[in-house]
Amino acid sequence: MPNDSRVREVPNDSRLIFADHVGRFYARQYGFPPMAGRLLGHLLVCDPPQQTIDELSQALLASRSAITGAVKLLESHGTARRTRAAGERMDRVSLDPADRQPRNFDSAIHKEHAALFREGLALLTDAPPERRAPLEEMAALAEFLADRLPRLVDEWHAHRDTLRASGKLPRPGA
């Protein structure tokens, strides 16, 4: 066993339950494999905040291969990251600090959605209104989101800065 002054975390029922709740939510809402959601939940509450694959495997009572696959998925979503300190032979997994920025608020995605829906509407030029209605509504929603989301992100940043200034939220790096 390496000489490591870090506290070793043993499985904790309340943390496992929380991780399971996050896993089920992310599976239901976003189609994540349950282990990826469980890993995300664990990373939100684990101490220390950087964990090796072995530590994650022990804490979540899962195989190393299941954890490795979940880490890869979360990395691809920009939610987790691996780091390795000089002289260490293993990666440590943690939440990616950049992930605290609002996700899915990119208006360009919604502009692209709107363009796709409008392309579909062009194929239905002679279709009855009830056939066109779903695509028309989806295009209108995408255009609405593309217009509103940049302002909403600006509002969030102003609100977050107010919370930080009042001490209700920690400052980055604190």
Q: What domains can be seen in the chain, in order of their start residue?
A: 13-96 (1.10.10.10), 107-165 (no CATH)
Q: What is the mean pLDDT of residues 150-161?
A: 93
Cα radius of gyration (the chain): 21
Q: What is the reported pLDDT for 12?
A: 67
Least confident of 36-40, 63-67, 88-92: 88-92
The model's pTM is 0.75
Whole-number Å distance between alpha carbons of 79 and 173: 17
Which tokens hold the place of 105?
Answer: 């608020």
**Quick one: pLDDT band at residue 174, thresholds 50, 70, 90?**
low
Percent of the chain with pLDDT over 70: 89
Q: What is the mean pLDDT of residues 9-38?
A: 89
93 and 50 Cβ atoms separated by less than 8 Å: yes
Q: Does residue 109 or residue 4 have the better pLDDT?
A: 109
CA 138/CA 29 separation, integer angstroms: 20
Q: Which of 59, 101, 62 is nearest to 78 (CA)?
A: 101
Residues 174 and 168: beta-carbon distance below 8 Å: no
Quick check: bond before 11 cis, omega within 30?
A: no
pLDDT of 151 strictly over 60: yes
Mark out the alpha helices in the chain (DSSP H runs). Answer: 13-30, 34-45, 53-60, 64-76, 107-123, 129-165
